[in-house]
Amino acid sequence: MPAGNRVTSLTGVEGSAQHGAVAFATTQWSVVLMAQGESASAEEALEKLCRIYWWPLYGVVRRQGYAPEEAQDLTQGFFAMLLERRDLDVVRREKGRLRSYLLTSLKNFLGKARRRSMTIKRGQGRPLVPLEELVARERADFEPADTLSADRIYERRWALTVLEQVLARLGEEYRAAGNAGLFEQLKQLLTDEPGQPSQAEIGRELGMRENAVKQALHRLRQRYRLLLRDEIAQTVASPGDVEDELRHFITVLQT
């Protein structure tokens, strides 16, 4: 589906980026940045964040002309290096956006890489994302990657991955509350795609009044916005960066 449709309907997202304060607790990326030397909590936080960025960064490597297997190995090698080294505390907090940090680090890694020495041999190490999952996603990727720069591919895949993470968290919450069927029906209304069922049709399917469906959809969208802000907040080091990242996220999806 077009990215613009996703952001304009999920939504009020643009408005939420401009209004209201986000409760800013210690986030995963700030844990990484504040860690000194070896830290189990920092490593755990960074590994979790890295899983989100596997697909966007893999796209950057592929855009450099590497074949899928080479790109998988190089991406795995990059994350292995990132998780093993102990100098993350040198990252300046005012430049502490994980999105920017990882892209810059990957470019440096690729610039210094020698295939015979930097490529991780298949079967060694522990990839953060199953390689077969990468292949399946690449086959299903209908973005005109041949016309996009490496940076643009990275930004788009980052934004779409954030959306996937938010929807996955939202779905888990509804399933835990015993409302899996309600979520599956209502999530269809989170986009502006044609052919969606009406609220009345969903009400008949679920045995609910149309007004009850409307209220449930309103709650779903509110929760979506909160989870989106939380997901973005996890990747910045200071509360002032959240609004900027949200605006950047919106811009990426709208262009």
Rounded Cα distance, 25 and 76, in Å: 30
**Measuring CA to CA, which residue among 60, 54, 248, 52 is closest to residue 154?**
60
What is the predicted pLDDT for the residue at 74?
87
CA angle 234, 240, 245 (to 5 degrees): 55
| Amino acid at residue number 95 | K
Six token digits for residue 240: 């002032």
pLDDT surpassing 50 at residue 20: no
Q: What is the CA radius of gyration of the chain?
A: 20
What residues contact residue 224 under an 8 Å CB cut-off, 6+ apart? 10, 166, 167, 170, 190
Residue position matching structure tokens 């610039």: 111
Q: Are 213 and 199 spatial neighbours (Cβ–Cβ below 8 Å)?
A: yes
Residue 8 or 163, more confident:
163
**pLDDT tens-digit readout, 194-250:** 788 999 999 999 999 999 999 999 999 999 999 999 888 888 877 778 888 899 998
What is the predicted pLDDT for the residue at 179?
94
Mean pLDDT of 7-28: 45
Mean pLDDT of 53-77: 87
Six token digits for residue 230: 């939380």
pLDDT surpassing 70 at residue 126: no
Rounded Cα distance, 222 and 186, in Å: 13
What is the predicted pLDDT for the residue at 129?
56
**Measuring CA to CA, which residue among 79, 91, 84, 99 is closest to residue 31?**
91
Rounded Cα distance, 17 and 23, in Å: 13
What is the predicted pLDDT for the residue at 21?
38
Question: Phi-psi category of 195—alpha, beta or left, where left has phi over 0 and alpha has psi -120 to 50?
Answer: left
Domain ranges in the chain? 1-23+151-255, 25-141
What is the predicted pLDDT for the residue at 175?
96
**pLDDT tens-digit readout, 128-184:** 555 555 555 655 554 545 567 889 889 988 988 888 889 999 999 999 999 999 999
Q: Are 210 and 203 spatial neighbours (Cβ–Cβ below 8 Å)?
A: yes
CA 214 to chain centre: 28
What is the predicted pLDDT for the residue at 24?
39
CA angle 8, 12, 17 (to 5 degrees): 105
Q: 161 exposed, middle or buried (CB, 10 Å; 0-12, 13-18, 19+)?
A: middle
Q: Are 61 and 107 spatial neighbours (Cβ–Cβ below 8 Å)?
A: no
pLDDT, mean over the chain:
75
Rounded Cα distance, 97 and 35, in Å: 16
Mean pLDDT of 25-37: 59
Mean pLDDT of 79-98: 61
Q: Establish how many alpha carbons lie within 13 A of residue 125's alpha carbon, considering only the half-sphere containing its beta carbon.
A: 23
